[in-house]
Amino acid sequence: MSRLWVTGYRSYEIGTFGEKDPKITVVKYALEQVIRQQLDLGLEWVITGGQLGVEQWSVAVVLSLKTEFPQLKVAMMYPFQQFGQQWQENNQAQLRQLAAQCDFVDSVSQAPYQGPQQLKNYQKFMLSHTDAALLVYDPDFEGKTRYDLQAIEQQQATMPYPLTTIDMYSLQEYATEYEEKLAENQAFPE
């Protein structure tokens, strides 16, 4: 396994407010732990989109891991040209800043948004250019990622395609683990 598709909730779907929101810290910690496990299995590329939320947080996590794992690469694939241009300026700036640090950035469709078929083509592209997927998603708390999950499940019906999910229960476990590590570091500073 060398190429991992990472996606999940948009920031508004899990109610995060600002980059200092503790929920973001927990999601990033969870992403880092799973990506570290995948590195042991031969992970070379994390491929994601540019959506606000899990996709951008996964880029940030990979960028922080590159100091320890310089061989790890990250690609940001947009479903269409001019992706994110309708966003508020600060969100557009954040997208540009992350994209500038990626190893590869491109759009699946070379046209601006024209309709839902571009999003289906994007899913097909991601499935055909990755070896496995990581979703931060819980079916009990639906969001737009359910469409990606459905595409992955269709792929799995015809061929092996490993899927790792971080659901709400897992996020709670990661939150507890993160808090324990913080407490340890405060008790025994380096």
The per-residue pLDDT for 23 is 94
pLDDT digits (tens, 9 = 90+) for 20-54: 899 999 999 999 999 999 999 999 999 999 999 99
Predicted pLDDT at 186: 77
The confidence score (pLDDT) of residue 19 equals: 83
pLDDT reported for residue 18? 81
Residues lower than pLDDT 50 in the chain = none
What is the Cα 167 distance to its own chain's centre?
Answer: 14
Per residue in 168-185, is it b (16+ CB within 10 Å) or e — as a string?
Answer: eebbeebbeebeeeeeee
Cα separation, 1 vs 162, whole angstroms? 9
When the pLDDT of each residue in the chain is averaged and rounded to a whole number, the result is: 95
Kindly calculate the radius of gyration of the chain based on its CA atoms and give it in whole angstroms.
Answer: 16
